[in-house]
Structure 1
Amino acid sequence: MTYERLMIESEYEVKIKEKSLEYGFKGLYKNGKVIIDRNLKVAEKTCILAEELGHHYTTIGNIIDQTKIENRKQELKARRWAVDKLIRVEQFIDAFKAGVRNRHELAEFLEVTEEFIDMAIDHFKGIYGLCHTIDNYIVYFEPLIVLEKF
C-alpha cells in the first residue's frame, strides 16, 4: 500500500499533516490528528503513517513514556496493525517470483523500509512460527527464504 493510498483511505477519520518535526520524532498521533515529518523519504513516511494510524485504531492516551509496560504494549499493538495494513505474507512470494533476492530489494518492492521488513518478519514469526506454507510455497522467516515445492 502506498503513502497516498493510506492517506486517501483515512482522510474521513484522521486529519494528516506533514511538517518538520523536532527531537527525533518522525510522526505523532493525538486526538484524530497525525503529523508526519515532511523530511522523510516516501517509504519511511508510509511506514510511519501506518504506525500512527495504528495508534488511532488501537491505542488510548499518551504512550510516549515507553518505560511503562502498558505503553510498550500499546506501541506494539500499533506496530502490528501497521504491519497487517502494509504487508501480507503472500507478498514475500510475489517478491520471490519477481526475482527479489535481498532485504534492500524487498523493501523497494514492497515500498517500505528495511527496518519495517524486519518488524514484519518478527510479527509473522510470532503468528506462524519459523515458516508458513501457502499453496506450493514455503516462506521461512529466519532467515527469510521462499521455496517452491515440487
Structure 2
Amino acid sequence: MIAYEELLQEAEDNNIEVIEFTFRGTNKGMYADGVIAIRRDIETVIEKKCILCEELEHAYTTVGDITGLETIQNRKQEQIARNRSFERLIPLKSIIKASFTYCTSLYELAEHLDVTEEFLKEAIEYYQSKYGLYKEVDNYCIYFSPLTVCKYKYEK
C-alpha cells in the first residue's frame, strides 16, 4: 500500500509543491505549473491520498489546461490520470491479497486497501470496463460484479 506521506515525498522528489487550498465549488484537487492544490476542508488523510495520487498522475500525463471538460481531449486526459491512480492505489493483486483477510463488504475492502469507498467503487467500474466481467491474475480469477476472488488453478 502506498501511504500519503510517500506520495508527498514523490511530489517533492519531482519538484511538485503540494498545498492546501480553499476551492469554490466541488473541486477537490488541481494540478498546474508544478503545484498540486488539495481542498483544505477534506478531513481524512485517506481521501487526500486518493486525490493526491490522481493529481500526481495529471502532473505526469496531462498537457495544457483541462479544467473545462467540454472537449473529448480534456475528458480523455482526465480519465487517463484517474485510471492510472486506480492502478497505482488498487492494483489487482492487492484485491486478491485482501480476499485472504476475509473482507466481506466494499467498506471493509476500502478500509483494508486504505482508499475511500467511492474511489474503490470507481476503480472496480474501471477494471470492469477494461477487462469485462472478470480478469485472471496468477492463479486467481477476479469477478467484478459482484466483486469476488476465486482460485481457479490448483497446483498438484
Structure 2 alignment gaps of length 5 or more? none
The answer to which of 15-24 and 35-44 deviates more is 15-24
Secondary structure at the residue paired with 1:132?
strand
RMSD: 1.5
Question: Counterpart in 2 of 1:16?
Answer: 18
Question: Counterpart in 2 of 1:93?
Answer: 96
TM-score for the superposition, normalised by structure 1: 0.92
Structure 1 CA distance for aligned equivalents of residues 138 and 26 of structure 2: 43
Question: Counterpart in 2 of 1:74?
Answer: 77
| Deviation (angstroms), 1:96 | 0.8
Structure 1 CA distance for aligned equivalents of residues 75 and 39 of structure 2: 22
TM-score for the superposition, normalised by structure 2: 0.88
Secondary structure at the residue paired with 1:146?
strand
| Deviation (angstroms), 1:20 | 3.1
Structure 1 CA distance for aligned equivalents of residues 135 and 58 of structure 2: 28
Q: Which runs of 4+ in 1 moved over 4 A?
A: none
TM-superposition CA deviations, 1:29-86 (whole Å, max 9, x none): 1011101123211111111111111111111111111121111111001101111221
- 2:6 is aligned with 1:5: yes
Structure 1 CA distance for aligned equivalents of residues 24 and 101 of structure 2: 39
Structure 1 CA distance for aligned equivalents of residues 118 and 92 of structure 2: 16
Structure 2 CA distance for aligned equivalents of residues 114 and 141 of structure 1: 15
| Deviation (angstroms), 1:101 | 0.9
Identical columns (%): 41
Structure 1 CA distance for aligned equivalents of residues 66 and 130 of structure 2: 25
